Each structure stands twice: as structure tokens, then as C-alpha cells.
């Protein structure tokens, strides 16, 4: 091949290679252009959003919790400023030295320091760490004055739930606390993940938690690549929780707590006979809900748990006790409604009744003599009601009791309500797999044996007796202006003349000499009460003890003393308030519970009269009265039987 041909061949090879390389480069450039087009044009919106998300952090703002007010607008649960001292560790330099300096101004326990060190290790260096919450104003001032010498330290202002009435309303309102694992399980509410967010843990706070929470706000923060906040871009505040107004009367509640606290343990409930609104609901001993809202210590909590008088239990709705002789109105009504006996039915009480080989005793050892129904209620004659129970049977008694709200939850808007128990032969066969014995009917007729009720149920029973209607108790009066309270109730379904007989007996208890509650009557004209005393045994009295003499309650250990009960309504001529008082191991109902019920019902009416007077004459001073301060002047020392 000539030199010319060889040059031509090399030229062709170079041309082909150049074309191939050029084509490959062109393809690569085309692919790059296509990719750039796809990223910058087609996917522009997506990547712009991703870039903004990396630059902007959206954070929730916890809303203020809704206030809880009484029926007259008195604040029961409010939000107060909560001052905290916080530390940003990257600005502090020597963290331990700063903690030592802060500790001289604000006491930091060993537990606080362990928590702080743990939080510092878990958090980023630019994240604020809470050193101490709930600072006093003096502590805030001390820290603020020394801030130039405390790099990285600052004061943060938040909110804490406060309960102005403390122990008096603890069982009704409950308290707030940080959500636990059970609270957040299966719940998508983002508020629950906010540090320091509190939810209702008991009482009204828990029952109406969703309404009280409100809705979260948000703020947009500009952050850098590692999440450090550069500046706030925008803020949208959330919707505060809804204001909740209760049917309670704060002054009455405060008085009830003071009056009942004189006893070791007990409960009291006051219901508006016409509306069913609960105006007072008290359980003692109690606890301070502010301790829980701020974080109660381990030792203080253990002391509450181990107290034999159970201060953490709301006895008014969760305490189940034998109602004793306060149950006798149910037996009387059941007998009258059956048609087997009438109000003139008479029984001779010798002090006991024989049934088979058993003897059933009356509380009065020598007996009451011949009694009619009104007299039997007035004197609380056990033998009379044994006779009625033997004639009508347990099924009729149980049916009447359930009609008046006993034996099932009444549905008050509080968590933890217990149902009590109204037994009957079918219940015993089903539950205990045993037959019902005739003697159990006699025992149940006077509110003993298997019969259990709560103080709330007894108050409902009394309200239904006084009104003749199926009154339903409730706590919510309105939520954010939306009216909740019902005021009309259907008739209870008993003959008026039979109801009148029972009410006449209750009137005799309190207003006729010899009645078991006569010494605890209200003597103010127009404010008189009608009631029924009760004493419930918690131990069995042997025949040997009866022969030698039954030991008095004051001679027994506290745990072995009878429970004391009293139910009442007032005023007699136009019932407005129904009340039930229970004193755990208080002994005689007439001696212990009746004076408390008397004072509470008098306080109800005095407060009502004072407010009515002020409403009629706005410029005049309110008339003198108890107004929730001490025991009314009509208090009379008593010593009763039932």
C-alpha cells in the first residue's frame, strides 16, 4: 500500500473515532440537559418545598386551658404565670459552675441536678433546658439581677394550672398532669407531644378535657442546617380552651368542706331539687390539687396513698356503704305501692322479731310499742320495717329502690362513679350461686346486708322523694355559653298520697319531739328541714354482747364504729335543696350526721336569701348570715340514736 493510501486510511479511522466520541459526548450533554430540565422545570415545586422545609421549622404553641367557674362566675380553676429558669448549655461555658451559681439563688436538689445533666446529654447544645419551675417572684428577681454573671441562663414564662379553693374542690375538679404512655397510645393529638403540656387527670378536668384543652397555635422559625433557631418568621396563636361553668356554689362548697372536716372521714352532697344541679359535693379528708399540678413529691404522694382514711378517693361518688335506716323510705313506699298495707298499718315493737330460729333486733332495746307508718319512720323502728319486708318481699323493695336512683350509676359527669348494689334473689343466684333467705329480706329492708349506696345516690333519692320527679344530677351548667342544664323531669311514678305519707314521716323525724333528728332541726321560720337518720353497722353483734350490753361506738376502735348517715330536704313547705351526709365510722346518724346536714341546708338557704336581698337592693349591705364562715348560730349540741 502506498504512503498516500495509508494516510487516507488513518484519516478515515480518526474521523470515525471523532464521530463516535462526539456522539457519546453529545449524548452525555443531552442527558445532562434533560436531567437539569427535569429537576429545575418539572420538579421545581417539589424541590422548592423540600428546601423550605429544611430552612423553616413549624412548631406548635400550646393554647391556654379553659377556665372552670362556679354557677355565679367565681373562678375554680385558672391559669397562672409559671416562671422557670432555663439554660442553653453552648452559651454557658462551664455548665457545672453555672449550676452552682444558680443553686445559690434557686434551690436545686440532687434529683434536679441529675435530671438537668440527663437532659443536657439528650438534647442539642442550643436547646434550652429547664433548671427549675414554679419560681417565686423573689427567686425570679434574684436570677434577673445576676443574669450578667450567668451566661446561657434566662427566665422563661409559661402557665401553670391553679386551684384557688385547694382541698375544698379537689375531688370535684381533679387536677392536670403530663400525659403518660397510656394517654398518648392510639391518640393522634399533636398537643400531647409538647413539652410541659398538661391534660386532665381526674374530676371535671378529666371529664371535660377535650373542651378545656383548646386547639394548638403554631409559629414558623427559620433554622440553619443543624436546627438552630435563627429567627421567628410568623406566629398564629391557638384557640383557648372553652370556659366551663358548673352548677356548684363555691361558697357553699367551701363551707361544706370546713364543716365536714371536723370529722375524720366523710362525704356530703347537695342537689337542687328542681333542676338536679349539684351545688355541693364534698369528700374528706382531701388533698391539695395544686401539688399535683406543680409536680407532687414521692414522699407526699406515698403519704396520701397510705392514709387509712383514703384522701385520694372521692367518697361522695365512689364510696359504697350500707345506707342503714335512710333506706327505710324505699321499704315504706314499696309496701304502700303494693297495696298490701296502707299508712294506718300498725305493728307492735317489743324490741325484736322472731323469724325461724333467728331473732332480729330493733335498735331500741326495749321496743317502741305500737307504731303506724309515719311513727315508724319518725322513730326509725326496725321491727316495723321487718314486718313490711316480710309481707311484700325483696323484689318489690329492690324495684322501688332502683326507681329512686339506687343500685346503678346515676351518670354524674365525673369519672370513677360506683354503682352501689340493690340485691334481690335473682342477683344472689346469679352472682353468688346461692339461694336467697327470708332473713336477708328483713336485713335489706333497713339498708343493711348486701345493700350498698353512695352518698350521691342517697342525695338523688332524697331529691326524687322531695320533688316526686325522676331528677337527674348534673355538674355542667354551660360550656362556652352553650346552656347544658336541664330543668324539667318526668314524674317518678308513685301515688301522691303514698309519697305524702313518707314525707310526713320525714317531717316528723326533724320537727316533732321524739323524732330521731329533732335535736338537729332548723328553727328559722320558713327554712325547716325534713330528714331521716341512719346508722349502718360494720360489725356483727353477738348474742353474748347483747346480753351483757352492746358496746358504745366511742368505746370501739375507729374502724369498728357504725357509719353515720342523714338525708334531708329543705325547706319543708317548698323543697329546693336535697342533702345527704355520710360520716365514716361516725357512730349515730342523729348525733353526728344530722347536725352537719342541718348546718349545710341552713347555709344553702342563708346564702340564697343573702343573694336575693342583694339582687333586690344592690346598694344595701348583704344581711348578716353565716356566708360560709363558721357554723350557723342555730347549731345545737345533740345526742341522738339513729
Average pLDDT value for residue range 182-191: 74
* 362 plus 334 within the same structural domain: yes
CB 565, CB 592: distance < 8 Å: no
Strands 68-69 and 244-246: parallel
pLDDT score at 630: 42
* 274 plus 393 within the same structural domain: yes
Q: Between vectors from CA 413 to CA 410 and to CA 416, what angle results, nearest 5°?
A: 75
- Which tens digit of pLDDT belongs to each residue from 13-29? 667 777 777 777 777 88
**Domain final residue, candidates 246, 264, 279:** 246
Instruction: Name the range with the highest mean pLDDT among 28-37, 130-139, 166-175, 605-614.
Output: 166-175
pLDDT score at 629: 40
Q: Is residue 54 assigned to a domain?
A: no
pLDDT score at 133: 79
- Give the three-class secondary structure for 249: coil
Average pLDDT value for residue range 279-299: 88
Asked if pLDDT for residue 444 goes beyond 90, the answer is yes
Active-site annotation holds for 357: no
Distance from the Cα of residue 168 to its chain's centroid:
12
Q: In Å, how far are 64, 228, 551 from 590, measured between CA atoms?
A: 48, 70, 18
Q: Determine the Cα–Cα distance for residues 629 and 159; give it in Å rounded to an integer.
A: 32
Distance from the Cα of residue 245 to its chain's centroid:
15
* 521 plus 580 within the same structural domain: yes
pLDDT score at 197: 77
Of residues 189 and 117, more confidence is placed in: 117
Q: Is residue 275 assigned to a domain?
A: yes
Q: Determine the Cα–Cα distance for residues 606 and 632; give it in Å rounded to an integer.
A: 9
Q: Quote the percentage of the chain above a pLDDT of 70.
A: 83
CB 253, CB 165: distance < 8 Å: yes
Q: Is residue 43 assigned to a domain?
A: no
Q: Is residue 31 assigned to a domain?
A: no
Q: Is residue 69 assigned to a domain?
A: yes
- Which tens digit of pLDDT belongs to each residue from 588-640? 889 999 999 999 999 999 999 998 888 777 554 444 444 434 444 333 333 34
Average pLDDT value for residue range 342-370: 91
Q: Determine the Cα–Cα distance for residues 485 and 629; give it in Å rounded to an integer.
A: 29
Of residues 62 and 87, more confidence is placed in: 87
Describe the crossing of helices 382-392 and 328-338 by its angle, rounded to 10 degrees: 40
Asked if pLDDT for residue 435 goes beyond 90, the answer is yes
When mean pLDDT is compared across 17-26, 284-293, 337-346, 592-601, the lowest value belongs to 17-26
Confidence class for position 4, pLDDT limits 50, 70, 90: low
Closest CA to 320 of 584, 596, 531: 584
Predicted TM-score (pTM) of the model is: 0.81
Of residues 365 and 57, more confidence is placed in: 365
Q: What is the total count of domains within the chain?
A: 2
Beta pairing partners, 563: 536
Asked if pLDDT for residue 259 goes beyond 50, the answer is yes
* 422 plus 468 within the same structural domain: yes
* 242 plus 310 within the same structural domain: no
* 391 plus 274 within the same structural domain: yes
Instruction: Name the range with the highest mean pLDDT among 122-131, 253-262, 542-551.
Output: 253-262
* 155 plus 237 within the same structural domain: yes
φ, ψ (nearest 5 deg) of residue 196: 85, 0
Q: In this structure, what CATH number is given to the domain that contains residue 133?
A: 3.90.1310.10
Q: Is residue 169 assigned to a domain?
A: yes
Instruction: Name the range with the highest mean pLDDT among 78-92, 412-426, 614-628.
Output: 412-426
pLDDT score at 50: 47
pLDDT score at 486: 75
pLDDT score at 634: 38
Q: In this structure, what CATH number is given to the domain that contains residue 475?
A: 3.40.710.10
Return mean pLDDT, the chain: 85
* 161 plus 115 within the same structural domain: yes
Exposed, middle or buried: residue 64 (CB in 10 Å: 0-12, 13-18, 19+)?
A: middle
- Which tens digit of pLDDT belongs to each residue from 479-534? 887 777 777 899 999 999 999 999 999 999 999 999 999 999 999 999 999 999 99
From the list 286, 325, 510, 535, the catalytic residue is 325
Q: Determine the Cα–Cα distance for residues 434 and 177; give it in Å rounded to an integer.
A: 46
- Give the three-class secondary structure for 68: strand
Q: Determine the Cα–Cα distance for residues 293 and 198; give it in Å rounded to an integer.
A: 8
* 285 plus 141 within the same structural domain: no
Beta pairing partners, 271: 278, 578
- Which tens digit of pLDDT belongs to each residue from 533-577? 998 877 666 555 555 555 666 667 767 788 999 999 999 999 999
What would the grid cell of residue 555 be? 368505746
Q: Is residue 340 assigned to a domain?
A: yes
Q: Is residue 11 assigned to a domain?
A: no
Q: Would you tell me how many other CB atoms lie within 10 Å of the CB of residue 235?
A: 12
Nearest-Å Rg of the Cα atoms of the chain is: 36
- Which tens digit of pLDDT belongs to each residue from 294-328? 777 778 889 999 988 999 999 999 999 999 999 99
* 481 plus 610 within the same structural domain: yes
Domain encompassing residue 91:
60-246
* 241 plus 340 within the same structural domain: no
* 344 plus 208 within the same structural domain: no
Strands 352-355 and 358-361: antiparallel
pLDDT score at 636: 35
Closest CA to 287 of 171, 192, 182: 171
CB 373, CB 506: distance < 8 Å: no
Average pLDDT value for residue range 215-226: 67
pLDDT score at 49: 52
Amino acid at each position: 500500500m502506498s504512503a498516500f493510501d495509508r494516510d487516507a486510511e488513518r484519516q478515515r479511522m480518526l474521523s470515525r473515532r471523532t464521530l463516535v466520541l462526539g456522539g457519546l459526548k453529545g449524548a452525555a450533554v443531552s442527558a445532562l440537559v434533560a436531567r437539569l430540565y427535569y429537576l429545575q422545570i418539572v420538579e421545581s415545586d417539589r424541590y422548592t418545598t423540600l428546601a423550605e422545609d429544611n430552612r423553616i421549622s413549624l412548631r406548635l404553641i400550646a393554647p391556654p386551658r379553659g377556665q372552670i367557674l362556679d354557677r355565679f362566675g367565681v373562678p375554680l380553676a385558672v391559669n397562672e404565670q409559671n416562671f422557670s429558669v432555663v439554660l442553653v448549655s453552648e452559651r454557658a461555658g462551664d455548665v457545672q459552675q453555672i449550676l452552682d451559681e444558680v443553686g445559690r439563688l434557686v434551690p436545686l436538689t440532687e434529683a434536679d441536678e441529675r435530671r438537668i445533666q440527663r437532659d443536657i446529654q439528650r438534647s442539642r447544645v442550643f436547646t434550652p433546658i429547664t433548671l427549675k419551675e414554679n419560681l417565686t417572684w423573689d427567686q425570679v428577681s434574684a436570677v434577673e439581677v445576676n443574669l450578667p454573671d450567668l451566661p446561657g441562663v434566662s427566665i422563661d414564662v409559661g402557665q401553670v394550672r391553679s386551684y384557688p379553693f385547694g382541698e375544698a374542690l379537689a375531688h370535684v375538679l381533679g387536677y392536670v398532669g403530663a400525659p403518660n404512655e397510656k394517654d398518648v397510645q392510639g391518640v393522634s393529638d399533636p398537643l400531647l407531644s409538647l413539652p410541659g403540656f398538661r391534660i386532665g387527670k381526674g374530676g371535671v378536668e378529666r371529664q371535660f378535657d377535650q373542651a378545656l384543652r383548646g386547639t394548638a397555635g403554631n409559629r414558623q422559625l427559620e433554622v440553619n442546617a443543624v436546627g438552630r433557631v435563627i429567627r421567628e418568621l410568623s406566629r398564629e396563636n391557638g384557640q383557648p380552651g372553652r370556659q366551663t361553668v358548673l352548677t356548684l356554689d363555691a361558697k357553699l362548697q367551701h363551707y361544706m368542706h370546713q364543716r365536714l372536716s371536723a370529722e375524720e372521714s366523710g362525704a356530703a352532697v347537695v342537689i337542687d331539687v328542681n333542676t338536679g344541679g349539684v351545688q355541693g359535693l364534698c369528700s374528706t379528708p382531701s388533698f391539695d390539687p395544686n401539688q399535683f399540678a406543680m409536680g407532687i413529691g414521692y414522699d407526699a404522694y406515698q403519704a396520701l396513698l397510705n392514709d387509712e382514711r383514703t384522701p385520694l378517693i372521692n367518697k361522695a361518688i365512689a364510696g359504697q356503704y350500707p345506707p342503714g335506716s335512710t333506706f327505710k323510705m324505699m321499704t315504706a313506699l314499696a309496701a304502700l305501692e303494693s297495696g298490701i298495707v296502707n299508712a294506718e298499718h300498725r305493728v307492735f315493737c317489743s324490741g325484736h322479731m322472731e323469724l325461724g330460729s333467728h331473732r332480729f333486733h330493733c335498735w331500741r332495746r326495749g321496743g317502741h310499742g305500737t307504731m303506724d307508718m309515719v311513727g315508724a319512720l319518725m322513730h326509725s323502728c326496725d321491727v316495723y320495717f321487718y314486718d313490711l319486708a316480710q309481707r311484700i318481699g325483696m323484689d318489690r323493695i329492690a324495684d322501688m329502690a332502683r326507681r329512686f336512683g339506687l343500685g346503678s350509676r346515676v351518670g354524674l359527669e365525673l369519672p370513677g362513679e360506683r354503682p352501689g348494689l340493690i340485691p334481690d334473689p335473682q342477683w344472689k343466684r346469679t352472682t353468688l350461686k346461692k339461694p336467697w333467705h327470708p332473713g336477708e329480706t328483713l336485713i335489706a329492708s333497713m339498708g343493711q346486708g348486701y345493700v350498698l349506696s353512695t352518698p350521691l345516690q342517697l342525695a338523688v333519692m332524697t331529691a326524687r322523694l322531695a320533688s316526686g320527679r325522676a331528677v337527674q344530677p348534673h355538674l355542667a351548667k354551660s360550656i362556652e355559653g352553650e346552656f347544658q342544664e336541664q330543668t324539667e323531669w318526668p314524674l317518678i311514678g308513685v301515688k301522691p298520697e303514698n309519697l305524702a305519707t313518707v314525707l310526713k314521716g320525714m317531717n316528723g323525724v326533724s320537727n316533732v319531739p321524739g323524732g330521731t333528728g329533732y335535736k338537729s332541726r332548723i328553727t328559722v321560720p320558713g327554712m325547716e328541714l325534713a330528714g331521716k337518720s341512719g346508722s349502718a353497722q360494720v360489725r356483727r353483734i353477738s348474742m353474748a354482747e347483747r346480753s351483757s350490753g352492746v358496746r358504745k361506738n366511742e368505746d370501739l376502735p375507729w374502724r369498728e364504729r357504725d357509719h353515720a348517715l342523714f338525708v334531708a330536704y329543705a325547706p319543708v313547705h317548698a323543697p329546693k335543696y336535697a342533702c345527704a351526709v355520710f360520716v365514716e365510722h361516725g357512730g349515730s346518724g342523729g348525733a353526728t350526721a344530722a347536725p352537719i346536714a342541718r348546718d349545710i341546708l341552713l347555709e344553702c338557704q342563708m346564702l340564697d336569701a343573702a343573694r336575693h336581698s342583694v339582687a333586690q337592693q344592690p346598694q344595701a349591705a348583704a344581711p348578716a348570715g353565716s356566708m360560709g364562715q363558721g357554723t350557723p348560730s342555730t347549731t345545737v349540741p345533740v345526742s341522738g340514736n339513729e
